[in-house]
Each structure stands twice: as C-alpha cells, then as structure tokens.
Amino acid sequence: LEEVAKRNSSREAWLVIHGRIYDVTRFLAEHPGGEEVLLEQAGRDATESFEDVGHSTDAREMLKQYYIGEVHPVSASCNPQTETPR
C-alpha cells in the first residue's frame, strides 16, 4: 500500500477496492458524487466506503477500466533468513 499512498491528489488518484488497485485520476471530474468524494479516499483502501454507497452494477463494470493491479501483502515467509556460520 506504500505506492498507493503516494497517489492521493488530483494529479494522480489511486484507490484500493477489494484488494485491487484502480487509477481513477481520469474519472475524478466525471464522478457523480464529485471529485472530492474520490480524493477523500485516494491513496488508501476505499472498500468500505465503496460498499457503503451501494454502487450499481454499471458503476462496478465501469470501475474495471481503471484497474491497474493488485495489492500483494508482504508475508514473514518472504523475508530472507540469514544463517549463522558454523
């Protein structure tokens, strides 16, 4: 989410919804609720807000065109382990 957090302005606005990352920058001016609504959520996980509004099937379909990737959690097993020399 570190990269997403940097994208929180009208110049570059990314949202995470259900683990997927969307670049909604081009949609800011078109959003029916106004760009302020998106900018409040930009740079973070907006899943709860997105679901609370109750977006239509059409809105969910439209969202797909802004998809740019997925959030990949860093797990402890990915950290390299150093061995003690014998």
How many Cβ atoms are within 10 Å of 83's Cβ, its own excluded? 5
* pLDDT 10s digits, 28-55: 999 999 999 999 999 999 999 999 999 9
* pLDDT 10s digits, 10-33: 999 999 999 999 999 999 999 999
The backbone torsions φ and ψ at residue 67, rounded to the nearest 5 degrees and listed phi first, read -65, 130
Domain of 21, CATH number, reads 3.10.120.10
- Indicate the pTM of the whole model: 0.81
In a domain, 6, yes or no: yes
Q: Tokens for 49?
A: 């807000």
In a domain, 84, yes or no: no
Its domain, for residue 19, covers 2-73
Measured torsion, CA atoms of residues 36, 40, 43, 44, in degrees rounded to the nearest 10: -140
Number of domains in the chain: 1
